[in-house]
Amino acid sequence: MIEWFSKRLGGCIVLLLALAIFPAGVLANDNIVTREMLPGDVASGTVNISALDEENVTTSNSIEAASSFTPRFTAPTRDNAYYYENNLYYQNGYGMPNCTAYAWGRAYELLGSVPNLSKYNANQWWSYNLDNSIYAYGSTPKLGAIACWGGSECGHVAVVEAISGNKVTISESSWSGCLFDTDTYTIGSENATSVGGFQGYIYLNDFYTDTTSPTIANAQITDVDAEGFTVTCNVSDNDSGIDYVMFPTWTDANGQDDITWNKGTIDGDTAKCRILYSDHNNESGAYTVHIYAYDKAGLSSAAPIGVIVKSIDNSALKSVSASYQTQIQDIGWQDLKKNGEISGTSGQSKRLEGIKINVNNQGYDVGVAYSTHIENIGWQDYVSNGDLSGTVGQCLRLEAIKINLTGADASKFDIYYRVHAENFGWLDWAKNGEESGTAGYGYRLEAIEIQIVPHGDSVPADTTPVDVTQTFVQNV
């Protein structure tokens, strides 16, 4: 007994100091108020399940079918509803650190449904289960079993997390000790462990340990384009289920100095990851991708061979395009638009008030600078690369715009743009710093299109009917 408490004294000194400073068990980090469960106390009522978790829990008292077991060796996080918001003891003010709150929450987590366990102190859990013939029980430890002790005023309960040979590892919480802790003891020494007075184990379910790693199949490359490619594969794990899939990727150049670990998305049994050339120095040649799948029991497996993308054309690695968004009267910032898409409105008589423009440069040194003519203000100074030109919250219309490309490779491209202006409709395309709009006329701009093309290419094709063939601009 003395040895057991001495072991925890060093590991829990920080928590004990916190309890001395904060009365009624206030945990400084989470600001959770709890109180010690005293003899005769009860966590009354039924569990109030939060709306966010209501669809994810079942209502049966126990699950008879065997299920895979994932051990817990770390404290549950504050957002884990099994131990906090949906925990009967927590809802009654007896939350962690309390052994009953933790064991009840752990049972809830293991079963996936509200456990039918005692609502009283730990020293009553054993008799409550026996008297009501709820769960099987015995003196032999099993995974996920509730270990019960009655050797003190309130007793103690813990959960079996691992069994190795004649050693048992439990997880637990206690009012006079740690928020969360683990302990390992020898089978048969239970009575000399914890508070003594060992009663036995309550078997929540016939759990088994997942020893089978996930499987990975049908790895392939799809959607190869100027920006990158997509890796897809089928992943499965019939026991504990797939947790996440990683896609480490590198090129053969310079000794894997560009390796990245990308976490994929999972939809059903398909895992997917988008690989961008820009994350690998825009290297051409061989790209190697390995796939690592991890299940919820912590087991992992790797694809048997790497996936190699051969001889990527350098020209595919280089591209330049425009992206832009506008601030619109009564609407605010519209979603981002790209190369030639319309940003703004037509037929709604709503003014553009501001604009942000970016260049998506793949393998080129190209940027963008732009200036707008604003109602009552005139031409603004040039801004660049995503900065705001115009105003927000001042109800002032944009009346004209000038856009230039910048950077060492700017001369390799032309930037075309045209605006939809009040009373005129769509104006002609302007390019490379020319004015587009109605500066001096006082008419609002309502929409804009922007495109970047290789230098010398023809004017972009019209995507909408053009109402006039002249650009109305007048310097002021």
Scanning 228-375, the segments in alpha helix (DSSP H) are 314-317
Cα distances from 237 to residues 9, 60, 246, 271, in angstroms, run 41, 25, 15, 13
Give residue 48's pLDDT band: very low, low, confident or very high (50, 70, 90). Answer: low
Q: Say if residues 154 and 131 touch (Cβ distance below 8 Å).
A: no
Q: Is the pLDDT of residue 211 over 90?
A: no
The pLDDT tens digits of the residues spanning 65-93 come to 346 678 899 999 999 999 999 999 999 99
Place of tokens 């491209």: 413
Residue pair 352/398 in contact (Cβ under 8 Å)? The answer is yes
pLDDT tops 60 at residue 342: yes
> Taking a C-beta distance cutoff of 8 angstroms, is the pair 379, 371 a contact?
yes
The pLDDT of residue 400: 96
Class of domain 215-316: mainly beta
List Cα–Cα distances, 119 to 37, 92, 150, 378, in angstroms: 11, 10, 15, 73
Kindly give the residue spans of alpha helices, DSSP state H, lying in 13-112: 13-21, 88-91, 99-111
The residue behind tokens 């009267």 is: 329
Closest Cα to residue 71, out of 145, 139, 13, 21? 145
Q: For residue 50, what pLDDT band results from cuts at 50, 70 and 90?
A: very low
Copy the structure tokens of residue 433.
């710093």
Measured distance CA(249)–CA(246) in Å, rounded: 10
Tokens representing 296 are: 């919820």
Task: Reply yes or no on whether the pLDDT at 193 is more than 70.
Answer: yes
Long-range CB pairs of 54-61 (<8 Å, 24+ gap) are 57/86, 57/112, 57/113, 57/114, 58/112, 58/113, 59/113, 59/114, 60/113, 61/113, 61/114, 61/115, 61/116, 61/134
Confidence at 16, pLDDT banded by 50, 70, 90? very low
Confidence of residue 170 (pLDDT cuts 50, 70, 90): very high
Cis geometry, peptide bond prior to residue 76 (ω within 30 degrees of 0): no
CB of 202 closer than 8 Å to CB of 116:
no
Query: For 217-258, what is each residue's pLDDT tens digit?
Result: 998 888 887 788 899 999 998 877 888 999 999 988 787 788
Q: Which of 26-35, 152-161, 162-171 has the lowest mean pLDDT?
A: 26-35
Most confident option among 15-24, 264-273, 284-293: 264-273
- HSE-CB for 46 with a 13 A CA cutoff: 5
Residue 59: how many other CB atoms lie within 10 Å: 7
In this predicted structure, the answer to whether residue 188 has a pLDDT above a threshold of 60 is yes
How many degrees, rounded to 5, is the angle at CA 145 between CA 140 and CA 150? Answer: 80
Q: Is the dihedral of CA 463, 468, 469, 470 positive or negative?
A: negative
- In DSSP notation, 136-201 reads EEESS--TTPEEEE-SSSS-EEEEEEEEETTEEEEEE--TTS-SSEEEEEETT-GGGSTTS-EEEE
pLDDT tens digit string along 281-337?
A: 888 778 889 999 998 777 788 876 655 655 555 554 567 899 999 999 999 999 999
CATH architecture of 2-209: Alpha-Beta Complex (3.90)
Helix (H, G, I), strand (E, B) or coil at 25: helix
Q: Rounded to whole angstroms, how far apart are CA atoms 100 and 88?
A: 10
Q: CB of 413 within 8 A of CB of 454?
A: yes
Domain boundaries, the chain: 2-209, 215-316, 318-454
Cβ neighbors of 280 (< 8 A, separation 6 or more) are 249, 250, 251, 258, 260, 287
* Region 84-106 average pLDDT: 93
What are the tens digits of pLDDT across the range 366-405?
A: 999 999 999 999 999 999 999 999 999 999 999 999 999 9
pLDDT of res. 42: 65
* Mean pLDDT rounded to a whole number for the chain: 81
